[in-house]
Structure 1
Amino acid sequence: MGDIPALPQAQWLWTQKAGSSPEECEDAAYCWQSGEAGVDSAGRAVASLYASVSDGASESLLARDWAALLVRDAVESMRLAGDWWLELGTFVRDLMERSAVHWDAFLTRYQAARAEAGRPIAWYEQPGLEKGAFATVLGAEIRATVLEDGTTHWFWYAFALGDSCVFQLRDGALVDSFPLRSVDEFGITPQLLGSRNRDAELVAERMRVTWGELLPGDELLLTTDALAAWLLSRSTNPDGNGVAALPAFSSFDQQDFTEWVDDQRARARMRNDDVTLVRARV
């Protein structure tokens, strides 16, 4: 059985909507890489990189905190479930039970902190807290797998609830996008996961799953909706430039990314919203 090559490193870039402070950004992302090889359900040696992004719904209270909690729980549920996409109902139930416990603990700390600061929860905030927070959630696993002939192949698996998207690029061209494949598919009411939602069966019905194989040099991009719409518009525009016109994200730092997003907004190519990108290259 061959050795598993080093997994790709994840690059995380983000910026808040124009006119907001960094503390007001309601996007979130989280990545985790396995430190040693494991074994999949077929008995093959594997190692994985996990990533998740979430876009909190501004209409709900504490959406930023819910999104930040959700991405960590999504990665943890994927990591602990093994081949999680084979038993989606079980995976969704684990994620929702995990996030419900963490959300209740967060609310207890939040309300105590407000009271200690002399700003207890007001009567008009209570209905919003009882309704809960809402966010999209997208998770992906890049898995290096040693096949029976001793060669290593890379596969990716993803789930999505809402309009955050994952893109597979090869030589600068779009190979696949998920769960949306055109700008026309974006709407004003994406599917959301609520912090008070306990209907795991319904969420599993609405959640979508896909997978693909990565070749050396391929890139996987996880993005929230504003950048996802930009990428899909670039892949379908009539001048033929397509995704090959992407900037060199690998050379960007946070300031470069913010300046690039601001420029796209100024050119009316990207709507003003929080923007998050997680990128990995095999």
Structure 2
Amino acid sequence: MGAHSTPLDVQRFLVPKTGSSPEECEDALDVSLSPDASSLFAAVSDGASESLLAGTWARQLVHGAVASMAAADGRGGDGEDSRSESFVEDLLDRTVNQWDGYIAEYQAERAARGRPITWYEQPGLDKGAFATLVAVHIRAASSDPEDREAARRWTWRAFALGDSCLFHLREGRLITSFPIADGGGFGVTPQLLGSRNRDAALITDRASTAAGELRAGDELLLTTDALAAWLLSRSEVESGGSGKQLGMLADLGDEIFAEWVQSERDRSRMRNDDVALIRIRVKTEG
């Protein structure tokens, strides 16, 4: 993930809906490491299928969120609220304020292929696209490379709008579930960030923030709603069962993880929806 080594291990998974191709996946994720390896930025987003170009918007959101967190790294603020609104303003500048330009290119490309925008698509373009977002900035507790104990401790600060979730696991047990605390928190109308919403104050007011500290062996999972609901619906998560199961599946790689997702769908234990997962672990040695 860069020229510098880091005691953080990162895995990324995207599994489209059953019957959909990877190109049709409307979930998105992005991860970036700071040049000095002292910070890691990650985000996942779930595009709302009811809106046109939802997958494209989700991809722009995660790229914008990671870039906004990186830009804010070290800039600080006067408090949690000011940092949140500053982040939102920068995010909107990188995404919402660029959306009209993207739409113009999209329309030109469609016309060049002999498939111009139809009359029934135009209202969708005018309304814009929508998606959820959860993003996290993880920072080393110490920048001193000789401080080996601090090198394995990291602080994290997260931002969320909607029902994409962050889970903090310790030995497979759930420490933090953000922004939804239990399986009953998933509804049919989550908060969404729209590609034409330029009201940074309103978005900041609707969003949630959380923070915590990671120790050696801890994990952060960033997931979209289908996998998040699965995790929170398993009572054994408190004893480490579900968390450890996800970890073991992730260790086995993309193909096994995708097969497991499909098996859970086939058993009606997971909704047939796109799945995005970023798994971040603090290494216990090396």
Which one of the candidate residues 124, 137, 141 is aligned to 1:141? 137
Greater Cα shift, 232-241 or 169-178? 232-241
**8 A contact 2:231–2:237 mirrored in 1:** no
Report SS of the residue matched to 2:272: coil
**8 A contact 1:60–1:134 mirrored in 2:** yes
Q: Deviations over 1:221-268 (max 9, x none)?
A: 000000000111124679994534435134232211110101111121
Structure 1 spans left out of the alignment, 5+ residues: 38-46
Residue in structure 2 matched with residue 118 of structure 1 by the alignment: 114
Which one of the candidate residues 82, 96, 99 is aligned to 2:95? 99
**8 A contact 2:171–2:240 mirrored in 1:** no
Residue in structure 2 matched with residue 64 of structure 1 by the alignment: 55
Residue in structure 2 matched with residue 42 of structure 1 by the alignment: none
Greater Cα shift, 248-257 or 270-279? 248-257
Report SS of the residue matched to 2:12: strand
Distance 2:219 2:247 in 1: 13
**8 A contact 2:173–2:240 mirrored in 1:** no
**8 A contact 1:62–1:133 mirrored in 2:** yes
Calculate the TM-score normalised by the size of structure 2. Answer: 0.88
CA 1:274/1:48 → structure 2, altered by over 3 Å: closer, same or farther? same
Length, aligned pairs only: 270
CA 1:241/1:81 → structure 2, altered by over 3 Å: closer, same or farther? closer
Distance 1:168 1:235 in 2: 16
Residue in structure 2 matched with residue 40 of structure 1 by the alignment: none
**8 A contact 1:54–1:70 mirrored in 2:** yes
Q: Deviations over 1:72-130 (max 9, x none)?
A: 00011111012475521121111112212332222122111101001111122111101
CA 1:109/1:219 → structure 2, altered by over 3 Å: closer, same or farther? same
Report SS of the residue matched to 1:246: helix
Residue in structure 1 matched with residue 257 of structure 2 by the alignment: 257
Greater Cα shift, 247-256 or 169-178? 247-256
Greater Cα shift, 268-277 or 6-15? 6-15
**8 A contact 1:234–1:243 mirrored in 2:** no
**8 A contact 1:235–1:243 mirrored in 2:** no
Report SS of the residue matched to 2:257: helix
Distance 1:173 1:238 in 2: 5
Report SS of the residue matched to 1:146: coil
Give the C-alpha shift of residue 204 in structure 1: 0.4
| AA of the residue aligned to 1:120 | P
Percent of pairs with identical residues: 53
**8 A contact 2:168–2:219 mirrored in 1:** yes
1:77-226 → structure 2 map (5 Å cutoff): 77-82=68-73, 83=76, 85=80, 86-146=82-142, 152=150, 153-226=153-226
Question: Does 2:243 match 1:231?
Answer: no
Q: Deviations over 1:1-45 (max 9, x none)?
A: xxx9724132101111112122111000000001216xxxxxxxx
| AA of the residue aligned to 1:67 | A
Give the C-alpha shift of residue 172 in structure 1: 1.2
Report SS of the residue matched to 2:86: helix
Distance 1:118 1:105 in 2: 20
Report SS of the residue matched to 2:211: strand
| AA of the residue aligned to 1:118 | G
Report SS of the residue matched to 2:141: strand
Aligned CA-pair RMSD: 2.2
Distance 2:169 2:116 in 1: 49
Task: Could you list the structure 1 runs, at least 4 aligned residues long, displaced by more than 3 angstroms after superposition.
Answer: 83-86, 147-151, 235-247
Report SS of the residue matched to 1:94: helix
Give the C-alpha shift of residue 145 in structure 1: 2.3
Greater Cα shift, 157-166 or 237-246? 237-246
| AA of the residue aligned to 2:162 | G
Structure 2 spans left out of the alignment, 5+ residues: none
Report SS of the residue matched to 2:8: coil
